[in-house]
Structure 1
Amino acid sequence: MTTVASGSGVGPLLRGWRERRRVSQLELALRADSSARHISFIETGRSRPSEDMILRLAEHLEVPVRERNALLLAAGYAPRYAETPLDDPAMGSLREGMERLLHGYEPYPAVVVDGTYTVVAANRGIAMLLEGLPEHLLTPPLNAMRITLHPEGLAPRIRNLREWRGHLLAQMERQIALARSEPLRKLYDEVAAYPLPETGGGDVTDPAPHPHFALPLQIEHEGRVLSFVSSISTFNTPMDVTVAELAIETFLPADPATVKYLQSLTP
């Protein structure tokens, strides 16, 4: 659902996004083929921007799709972008495409999450890593951040937990800075407050015979330490709020031993 701060017109909202992006009125005007005077008038409420102008400014300010709807509502216009539930029949081809992608990536782990890290879909590689976790963490809706950082979740199995935890919290901080999401802020406050497990490897990255080209996730599974680097993909030019907030995270084996072990599990 798109929300607008009470009493906030479109001008203050646009000014907030411009300041958040550290862009001057003149720079924004040049990008949007306007004038600094007109941008100033919009921000102070002396001028009511057109729908097209709001969307143009939002594009140049990289405003998330959900918040573009909020800007339009604040200016008295109808939202431009739908928010279609993922289980809607209209999303059938998208769901099928994601399922094929996840299945094709096996035996390596891959997962799809929404804007608050609720797990939308996952493959058998992810299911393997979650084996043995308590039921209360695996009861839908699953949350990837909660499962990873909870002291009863994957955290005790992660050998370089301090580094990986720092990476995940920094990732969430960047997202919160880019989008005003109260649910994401609440999730961050929750997982950041989790204590570090008293047991488990979770202090330093294990020495590896192969140099790391990115921070690895080093996680124990049945007495072995598996090593992965992750990659996150999003959809280009989304026209739906739901699609705009989906992210596909794939975990690439970071060493030959992890490749060999995962492939040995493939029928």
Structure 2
Amino acid sequence: MQNESISQLGPLLRQLRQLRSKSQEEVARASDIAHNYYGEIERGKREPARATLLNIARHGLNLTVNQTNLLLRAAGFAPLPQVLSSSEMARLYKIVEAYLNKMAPYPALVVNQFWNVLKWNNQLNSAFGLSLERISAPQRNWLRLLYDGNGPLRNAFVEWDEFSRYQLALFQRSTLGLQSEPEYQALFYNLQKEAGFERAWQESYPGQADLFMGREWAIRVPGALDGGIFRCRLVQTSFDQYSQLLALTFFPVDPATEEILSLLPTE
């Protein structure tokens, strides 16, 4: 590793750790390395082996493949492969399907690294008045659906401004290192056309996601004439480091919401 690589690695490692809201001690403990040794890596005083850096990325920081490769390249190491085999993808999709079925009657969806919606359960459509199967794949992006001024999601969330900033913060965190990708740039270009996006983007930052963790969100019941509301918490679940798929599930916070969700159509 060259000295130039060391100087690049330390600040990047610190940034990724801070995005995870973790202390040096927490990362070192989870990575099974000495606290002082980890601190010296961040300060550019130590040159970690590739295996050590992978251990920090996987166990200490729970990074995606793209984020791990940022670290590896900064340290002068070869990046990890990012393509799953067809058999691995088939196995992963079975896991995704099983997860979505298990979540019923709670609304859930699975997005890829650019937040394109890949899979969802019928409860998601019913809870938010969506018809995702009728939306073409290029348009079926969770952020684009959220910011669509004519779509149901903008009206569904009572605290839409705050929820949209929460989702942007999560997106910024999960796409760190992908800003130069054509798909990212195309998504950003399309989102800029939507009302409220540019202001929300400027006001959002990755660490902001932690401020919203565990918060209850009020959601309007689709088609309800009496202004019915149900309340949920949004939980994010990662499937594995390589696929970079993320599940978003809305869990009820009270018996009334549990009952509303159980009565929503499932087809």
Name the TM tier (shorter chain): 0.5 to 0.7
Q: Alpha-carbon deviations, 1:218-237, whole Å to 9, x = none?
A: 1241235352413324247x
1:234 to 209, 221, 237: 237
Deviation at 1:151, TM superposition (A): 0.4
Label 1:123 to 1:51 Cα distance change in 2 as closer, same or farther (>3 A): same
Q: Structure 1: how far apart are the matches of 2:263 and 2:70?
A: 47
Q: After superposing the two structures, state which structure 1 stretch, 10-19 or 185-194, moved more.
A: 185-194
Q: Assess if the C-alpha contact under 8 Å between 2:123 and 2:265 holds in 1.
A: no
Label 1:226 to 1:122 Cα distance change in 2 as closer, same or farther (>3 A): farther
Deviation at 1:38, TM superposition (A): 5.7
Label 1:255 to 1:13 Cα distance change in 2 as closer, same or farther (>3 A): same
* TM-score, length of structure 1 as denominator length: 0.65
Q: Structure 2: how far apart are the matches of 1:25 and 1:192?
A: 37
> 1:203-218, aligned counterparts within 5 Å?
214-218=215-219
Q: Structure 2: how far apart are the matches of 1:13 and 1:61?
A: 15
Q: Assess if the C-alpha contact under 8 Å between 2:147 and 2:195 holds in 1.
A: no
> What one-letter code is carried by the residue in structure 1 that aligns with 2:177?
R
Deviation at 1:266, TM superposition (A): 5.4
Residue 10 (structure 2) pairs with residue 9 (structure 1): no
> What one-letter code is carried by the residue in structure 2 that aligns with 1:149?
Y
Q: Assess if the C-alpha contact under 8 Å between 1:107 and 1:262 holds in 2.
A: yes
Residue 248 (structure 2) pairs with residue 219 (structure 1): no
Length, aligned pairs only: 231
Deviation at 1:79, TM superposition (A): 2.7
Q: Which runs of 5+ in 1 are unaligned?
A: 1-7, 197-212
Q: Assess if the C-alpha contact under 8 Å between 1:164 and 1:217 holds in 2.
A: no
SS in 2 for 1:216: strand
* TM-score, length of structure 2 as denominator length: 0.65
SS in 2 for 1:231: strand
Q: Structure 2: how far apart are the matches of 1:16 and 1:217?
A: 37
Q: After superposing the two structures, state which structure 1 stretch, 215-224 or 181-190, moved more.
A: 181-190
SS in 1 for 2:216: coil
| Aligned CA-pair RMSD | 4.1
Identity of aligned residues (%): 21
Q: Structure 1: how far apart are the matches of 2:156 and 2:146?
A: 9
Q: Assess if the C-alpha contact under 8 Å between 1:112 and 1:248 holds in 2.
A: yes
Q: Structure 2: how far apart are the matches of 1:71 and 1:57?
A: 10
> What one-letter code is carried by the residue in structure 2 that aligns with 1:227?
F
Deviation at 1:166, TM superposition (A): 1.4
Q: Structure 2: how far apart are the matches of 1:214 and 1:25?
A: 27
Deviation at 1:159, TM superposition (A): 5.3
Label 1:155 to 1:66 Cα distance change in 2 as closer, same or farther (>3 A): same
| Structure with the higher helix share, 1 or 2 | 2
SS in 1 for 2:150: coil
Q: Assess if the C-alpha contact under 8 Å between 1:29 and 1:39 holds in 2.
A: no
Deviation at 1:263, TM superposition (A): 2.4
SS in 1 for 2:14: helix
Label 1:266 to 1:32 Cα distance change in 2 as closer, same or farther (>3 A): closer
> What one-letter code is carried by the residue in structure 2 that aligns with 1:55?
L
SS in 1 for 2:177: coil
Residue 118 (structure 2) pairs with residue 120 (structure 1): yes
Label 1:50 to 1:145 Cα distance change in 2 as closer, same or farther (>3 A): same
Q: Structure 2: how far apart are the matches of 1:252 and 1:28?
A: 29
Label 1:28 to 1:223 Cα distance change in 2 as closer, same or farther (>3 A): closer
Deviation at 1:140, TM superposition (A): 0.6
> 1:110-259, aligned counterparts within 5 Å?
110-128=108-126, 129-131=128-130, 138-141=135-138, 142-158=140-156, 160=158, 163-177=159-173, 179-182=176-179, 187=187, 191=191, 194-195=194-195, 214-224=215-225, 225-235=228-238, 238=240, 240-242=241-243, 245-253=244-252, 254=254, 256=256, 259=259
Deviation at 1:109, TM superposition (A): 1.7
